Structure formats: C-alpha cells, structure tokens
Amino acid sequence: MKARLIVNGREVSVDADDDTPLLWVLRDELRLTGTKYGCGAGICGACTVLQGGAAVRSCQIPLSDAAGKRFTTIEGLKNHPCQRAWLAQDVAQCGYCQSGMIMEACALLAKTPSPTDADVDAAMRDHVCRCGTYARIRAAIQSAAQLRSAK
C-alpha cells in the first residue's frame, strides 16, 4: 500500500505491504536505523518509538495502522533532556537497546514529570538490556526529570 505518515515532524510517503511493521518501514524504507529490532514480538522494547507522546512498540504496528499518524524516533530528538541525562550518567554500554529505553523515558516524563523510582521501574520493566545498564537508567531518568523542570 501507499501510505503517508509523519516521522520526526516530516511527512513521508512509503510504498510497502500493508502489514509491514512500522519498525521495518522505519529501518528499510526510511533508513532510520536508530530504532532497533530485538525480538519482533513486542517483548524486548528495543523498537520503541513515540506515537504522539506515547511510547509504542514499532514492531507491533502494521503500516495500515501507522498510516496518517505522527511518530518520533530517536533521530527526531534534539538535545532532549533524556539524551543529555543519558550522557551525563554515562548510561550506555553496547548501546543497542538504548534508543528504545530513551524513547520510553521521554514518554514517561511527558506524562509523569517527577516520577518515583517505582514509576520508573514500572515504565521501564518491559525493556531488556543485556549489558545491565538499569541502575544508571534509573539515575538518568531522575536527572532528566530535573533538567526538564529546571527549563
């Protein structure tokens, strides 16, 4: 199908099978490879992007549902407090899961500007990091919350 969607503030048109998951639309059609494949089943969180302001698993959204909607990927963040906090806390190790982590954190802070550690754990528990960066992710989200409120 031919579809239009808005990615990182720009309207793009793609021509792909209507059941193509948004993940592969982003990666193969739009060459936005910052969004990662980890499991293809909505379990690991590596493919997380924002739809509007909400975190969604791009591997679970077929193009037919994505059409006409607005998405933000890691490439669409510009000096976001989460990115700055991630660098300040030196969170990443291999980095592969971090795009999904950061997008989820953006959605959390948009909804809950001052999250407790329990809020953070609840929001991030469906994300897998095999390098074990979890402790620093907690710290980075708290620090991003402060950066946001200081703005």
Partner 1 sequence: MRTRREFLGIALLGGPALALAFRAGGADAGEKTPFRPNAWIRIDPDDIVTLTVGKSEMGQGVRTALAVILADELEADWRNVRVVQAEPSAQFPNLGTGGSYSVRGSFRALRRAGATGREMLVAAAAAAWGVDRAACRAEEGTVIHEGKRFTYGELTAAAAKLPVPADPPLKRDFKLVGKSMKRIDGPDIVTGQARYGLDVKVPGMRYATIVRPPALGGSIKSFEAVDGVDVVRVSAGVAIVADRTWAALKARDRLKVEFDAGPHAGFSSAVYEQLLADAAKDPGYLLRQDGTTTTPARTLEATYHYPFYAHATVEPMNCTADVRADRAELWVPTQAPNAVQKEVARLLGLSPERITVHVTLLGGGFGRRLGWDYALEAAEISKAVKAPVQLLWTRSDDMKHGYFQAASRHEMSGGFDADGKLVAWTHKKIASLHNARGTPTQAELDDPNYYRDSASWGVYDIPYTIPNIETRYVRVPTHVPLGPWRAVFSPSSTFARECFLDELAHAAGADPLEYRLKLLQAPDVLAIDDLKIERPRLRAVLELLRTKSNWGKPLPSGHGRGVACNVYDGVTHVAYAAEVSVVKGQVHVDKVVGVIDCGLIVNPLGVVAQAESGIVWGLSSALKDAITFRDGGVEQSTYLDFDVLRIDETPKIEIHLVPSHGDEPYGIGEPTVPPIVPAVANAIFAATGKRVRRLPIRDL
Contact footprint for partner 1 (CB under 8 A): 16-17, 19-21, 24, 27-29, 31-41, 43-44, 46, 73-75, 77, 82-83, 86-87, 90, 92-99, 102, 120-122, 124-138
The pair of structure tokens assigned to 15 is 């021509």
**Residue with smaller CB distance to partner 1, 67 or 128:** 128
**Residue with smaller CB distance to partner 1, 51 or 104:** 104
Closest CA to 139 of 107, 101, 111: 101
**Residue with smaller CB distance to partner 1, 51 or 85:** 85
The terminus-to-terminus CA distance of the chain in angstroms comes to 43
- Contact in structure between 145 and 109 (CB atoms under 8 Å): yes
As beta bridge partners, residue 4 has: 13
What is the nearest approach in angstroms of partner 1 to the Cβ of residue 91?
8
What is the nearest approach in angstroms of partner 1 to the Cβ of residue 58?
12
Q: How many residues does the chain have?
A: 151
What is the nearest approach in angstroms of partner 1 to the Cβ of residue 148?
16
**Residue with smaller CB distance to partner 1, 49 or 51:** 49
What is the nearest approach in angstroms of partner 1 to the Cβ of residue 87?
5
5: part of which helix (H) or strand (E)? Answer: strand 2-7
Residue with tokens 């089943």: 41
